[in-house]
Structure 1
Amino acid sequence: MKVLVVDDDAVSRKLLAKILGDLGCEVDVASGGLEGLEKAMLDPPDLVVTDWVMPDMGGGELIRALRDSGFDRPIWFACPRDGEENLAEGLGAGAQAPVHKPFDRDEIAALLAGVGEGG
């Protein structure tokens, strides 16, 4: 499975890419929403995982831009475990699931299993 990780924080980006890589994914990264949008449109991944707060284009904007362009593959958004306001907005923008920060390998593995089943 090819996954695009979009996050302006280098540490978070590398950590999530490592977890996904260890779980067998082919991972590409983008350091912001605009770069992520461009990469997703040029070579659509099977899954996009985006941070929620980024300076150039936030996660909600990225999700909406992808959906408006016809991107129909799963999108997850990273948010804090107590980020209830982000949860409703992210799902409303067209994302399938939140990925909680700090990242948990078991949570990510379970979410990936759902994508493999068409979720």
Structure 2
Amino acid sequence: MKTLKSKIAALVSFCFMMLMIQSASAQNMAQSLKDKTPEQRAQMQTNMMKAKLKLDSTQMLKVQGINLKYAQKLDPVIKGDGGKLSKFRQLKSIQKDKEKELKAVFTASQFKEYQQLQAEMKEKLKDYRSNN
């Protein structure tokens, strides 16, 4: 039987790790996120974005700040005891705000690539959910 924590962990992995290397499993991502501080999660995201989106140094600094800001906002949601639907709504709202800020930093092609990577991660999450 699926536990609430495993469902939340999968959801959180989607929100945080949209840019995760495709060979990593959703389960490993979720556990990795739970074990990291907001600062560590933000750094992981920034490194992934730098590699996948070929960020320049100016973009890198801005993205690093954005990732840290939103990792800190998401930390209480991840660690909180709220219901699944409540957490999902909070995560979705925070992610939407983050995307607005990232869009202002990325070029049009980088933002398109970012969205494609998000879509791929969403599919991985669906696969993970259906297999567990």
Coarse TM-score class (shorter-chain normalised): 0.3 to 0.5
- Larger relative helix fraction: 2
- Larger relative strand fraction: 1
Larger Rg: 2
- Of structures 1 and 2, the one scoring higher in RCO (CA 8 A, sep 6+) is 2
